[in-house]
Chains A and B, each alone.
Chain A
Amino acid sequence: MRILFIIFFLLVTSLNLQASSEHAEEEGAVDAFGLIMGHISDSHQWHVIDYTNRHGHPVHISMPLPVILWHDNQLWFYSSDSFFHAEHPVKIGNDHLVLEDGHFYLTDHEGTIIRDGQGSITNPSPLDFSITKNVASMILSMLLLLLIFLSAAKAYARYGMPPPKGFRAILEPLILFVRDDIARSQIDEDKADKFVPFLLTLFFFIWINNLIGIVPFFPGGSNLSGNISFTATLAVFAFLAINIFASKDYWKHIFIAPGMPFPIKILLVPLEFVGIFIKPFALMIRLFANITAGHIIILSLISIIFILKSIYIAPVSVLLSLVMFMLELLVAVLQAYIFTLLTALFIGMSTSKTEH
């Protein structure tokens, strides 16, 4: 545990934090919608804090992240800092780059952005492999998971199986819970243990990312598990796990529907076929919407203070958001549990031998 804290501390302090002072923006209405959307979407820099210094200038502190682009059959590396405070567009080969609305676009040397009638940008954009805020947060959570579980595994290898001590005393019941109450209760006895590593990974990866997401200050606060690409990737893995190990009976029941009269078969087979894809799709939407909704609710409750511009609303708003944070702690583990449980259920349905 102590190592964990030290590494966390090192990570936070060794970051190349850059402060920049800019002139005061126009005073007035707080853009709550823009603030919330900015928080729940991905970003090329990791925002830390904004404050007003002694001279009345607002100071924005954020961590620059690496920008990796593929253009002209070549990889280009930049620091995202060069896009946020640059006067001129950044050169990339014979073209120039501009960061607009969170995307990179190729422009001429003056950085002209061309918009069509609907206001969407028509400039070509290079392939973007950048380490964005979400990716950085995912790397952080992977490191944390590796630290926790490798140290636990090492301890088991060294001490064998006496009653667990310290941090392992929390991990062991959780792991046993996933194995016994999720895997073994949903999947056939002889096949369950094969899927336990996958289900454990799903459970802990989703949980730790949910938890990091609701930490309101710097190393947390990214909306990773509320990002549709993240949940889509997890759903694709669930889809593969469900269908690769499926039994012959499963496919037979989908494409032949034995024992049904022919007119019903015509209805049933397409439905069952679409069902293969709807299951992981529902997993994807559920996690994405739950986590994003939680972030939006908490931020909206905090924003009420600034929308109404009254300090007297603050206690109510803080109390309500405290309650929401509590609820989000529960939702974090519940959604990880539901995702894992439903994946195990679908795997169990596809791998089991049906009794006739």
Chain B
Amino acid sequence: MEAISLTAIGLGLIVLGAALGIGKIGQSAIEAMSRQPEISSKIQTAMIVAAALIEGVSLFAIVVAWLVD
């Protein structure tokens, strides 16, 4: 039981971190887009790339947590 609950806590922490990061990216991207709508497509690409990088790290952590469990 001990190991299972530790994995669950780890997964929760991963989700927290990833959500915080992606949320901040989305927030600043939307702010930037509303300031300069004419370059919104460029901002969108940059946003998706940054979100994908965070997602990559968090998925990596999830897979490791799953394997260690």
**Interface set of A (CB-CB < 8 Å, partner B):** 181, 185, 282-283, 285-286, 288-290, 337-338, 341-342, 345
Contacts and interface: CB of A to CB of B under 8 A. Distances in A.
Given A285-B60, A289-B59, A338 B52 contact: yes
14 contacts: A185-B45, A282-B53, A282-B57, A285-B63, A286-B56, A288-B63, A289-B62, A338-B48, A338-B52, A341-B45, A341-B49, A341-B52, A342-B49, A345-B49
B52 A289 contact: no
Contacts of A282: 53, 56-57, 60
B48 A286 contact: no
Nearest to A186: B45
Contacts of B52: 286, 338, 341-342
B56 A341 contact: no
A286 B60 CA distance: 8
Interface string B12-31: 00000000000000000000
Contacts of B57: 282
A82 B56 CA distance: 42
Contacts of A285: 56, 59-60, 63
B45 to A, nearest CB: 7
Contacts of B62: 289
A241 to B, nearest CB: 18
Interface in B1-59: 41, 45, 48-49, 52-53, 55-57, 59
Given A285-B56, A285-B59, A289-B63, 18 more contacts: A181-B45, A185-B45, A282-B53, A282-B56, A285-B60, A285-B63, A286-B52, A286-B55, A286-B56, A286-B59, A289-B59, A289-B62, A290-B55, A290-B59, A338-B48, A338-B52, A341-B45, A345-B49
A338 B45 CA distance: 10
Nearest to B62: A289
Closest 7 CB pairs of A and B: A289-B59, A282-B56, A338-B52, A286-B56, A285-B60, A285-B59, A286-B59
Contacts of A283: 56
A323 B60 CA distance: 26
Contacts of B45: 181, 185, 341
Contacts of A342: 49, 52
A62 to B, nearest CB: 28
A337 B49 CA distance: 10
User: Which one of A283, A285, A288 has the highest number of Cβ atoms from chain B below 10 Å of its Cβ?
Assistant: A285
